[in-house]
């Protein structure tokens, strides 16, 4: 079936003939574009990609990707993705869904997929609101947020998706933002290269029900001071004039100015393999701290779930040989009834 030579794909090869039906101005457009631009660079065949989603605006994603796709039911996308990998580990599975789908109704499945380290890529498009059901608060909405279902303010404390992912045993955690397509592509390429579950939170704007929820991180003016671009082995510098940094102060992180005797050498250096540091970084929130973007955590120490499952089968067959169905049915004690 496969030709030996990998075809050269262009982004448009991954676009379907279906009209994209997100609201004009929705952050999802940029994310779709970034994915379509990233895939041709990954060196894989188009027919080996499967895009899986649950329910919600973000979950329409597979309809717009000319790959194999499964638009499933609310919250269960991680389970479908797991089943696909169990059936055929050679497939490259991408799961795209929103904060309600993956963290509320699907929180259970997402958690178990992360801890199993199933070899899939998860893009969490986080707009901190329910869009498709028209504006109720989501599990990432701020405490006290007024929405259609919380007229006097949300009584729920929000979940921090990345802290939760690290706590859940995820082996790759990153964050990006819809207005920066180049950054998105870079992070997605890293996520794609990771063996195991990659979990990428994308700050995404719902311009109808929660416009500018990520205002501070998305505006040219405020972005440099409200976010920090992480790079492995590089000191943690941020700010419009690159004049701020992060430093350890006892057991906590603190923001320092790069003057008054503080130099780059005094700053904390990002180590994406350090799980404890990664957790601390995911806890940083604006305005007290800049919010980290880029690869926060990436560990290759753990085998993937699909590998372990298939390796177990391979080993059993290696030790005992392929099963003989006749012998299996004839197992245990048998007796013969003769013709009389």
Q: Is 8 in the site for other proteins (CB under 8 A)?
A: no
Contact map string, positions 11 to 40, toward other proteins, x by CB under 8 A: -----x-x----------------------
Q: Is 57 in the site for other proteins (CB under 8 A)?
A: no
Per DSSP, the three-state class of 303 is coil
Strand, helix or coil for residue 319: helix
With a CB cutoff of 8 Å and minimum separation 6, the contacts of 173 are 162, 165, 166, 199, 200, 278, 282, 295, 296, 297, 298
Total site size for other proteins, rule CB under 8 A: 67
Q: Which helix (H) or strand (E) holds 192?
A: helix 181-193
Under rule CB under 8 A, residue 322 binds other proteins: yes
Q: Is 313 in the site for other proteins (CB under 8 A)?
A: yes
In the bound state with other proteins, the residue whose beta carbon lies nearer, of 39 and 187, is 39
Give me the phi and psi of 116, to 5 degrees please: -75, -20
Cα separations in angstroms, 11 against 15, 180, 192, 272: 7, 17, 16, 30
Query: Which residues, 6 or more positions from 167, have their beta carbon under 8 angstroms from its beta carbon?
Result: 279
In the shown chain, the binding pattern of residues 267 to 306 toward other proteins, with x for contact by CB under 8 A and - for none, equals ----------------------------------------
Residues 59-88 that bind other proteins (CB under 8 A): 62-63, 65-73, 76, 78-84, 86-88
- Rounded to a whole number of angstroms, the minimum distance from the CB of residue 88 to other proteins is 5
CA–CA gap between residue 211 and residue 309 (Å, rounded) = 44
Structure tokens at 78: 């991680």
Provide the binding-site residues for other proteins, judged by CB under 8 A: 1-3, 16, 18, 45-52, 55, 62-63, 65-73, 76, 78-84, 86-88, 90-91, 108-109, 111-112, 309-310, 312-313, 316-317, 320-323, 325-326, 328-340
């Amino acid at each position: 079936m496969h030709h030996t030579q990998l075809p050269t794909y262009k982004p448009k090869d991954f676009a379907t003939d279906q009209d994209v039906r997100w609201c004009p101005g929705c952050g999802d457009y940029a994310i779709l574009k970034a994915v379509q631009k990233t895939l041709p660079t990954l060196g894989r065949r188009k027919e080996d990609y499967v895009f899986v989603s649950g329910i919600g605006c973000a979950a329409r994603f597979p309809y717009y990707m000319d790959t194999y796709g499964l638009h499933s039911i609310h919250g269960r996308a991680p389970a479908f993705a797991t089943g696909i990998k169990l059936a055929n580990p050679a497939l490259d599975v991408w799961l795209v869904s929103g904060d309600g789908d993956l963290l509320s109704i699907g929180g259970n499945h997402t958690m178990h997929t992360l801890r199993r380290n199933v070899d899939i890529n998860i893009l969490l498009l986080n707009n901190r609101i329910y869009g498709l059901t028209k504006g109720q608060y989501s599990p990432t909405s701020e405490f006290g947020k007024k929405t259609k279902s919380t007229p006097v303010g949300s009584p729920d404390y929000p979940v921090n998706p990345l802290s939760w992912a690290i706590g859940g045993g995820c082996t790759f955690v990153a964050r990006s933002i819809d207005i920066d397509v180049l950054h998105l592509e870079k992070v997605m390429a890293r996520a794609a290269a990771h063996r195991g579950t990659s979990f990428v939170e994308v700050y995404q704007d719902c311009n109808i029900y929660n416009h500018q929820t990520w205002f501070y991180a998305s505006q040219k003016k405020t972005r440099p001071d409200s976010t920090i671009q992480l790079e492995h082995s590089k000191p943690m510098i941020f700010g419009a004039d690159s004049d701020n940094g992060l430093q350890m102060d006892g057991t906590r992180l603190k923001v320092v100015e790069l003057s008054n005797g503080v130099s780059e050498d005094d700053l904390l250096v990002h180590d994406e393999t350090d799980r404890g540091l990664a957790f601390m970084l995911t806890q940083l929130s604006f305005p007290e701290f800049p919010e980290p973007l880029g690869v926060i955590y990436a560990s290759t120490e753990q085998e993937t779930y699909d590998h372990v499952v298939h390796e177990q089968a391979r080993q059993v067959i290696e030790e005992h040989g392929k099963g003989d169905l006749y012998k299996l049915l004839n197992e245990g004690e048998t007796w013969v009834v003769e013709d009389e």
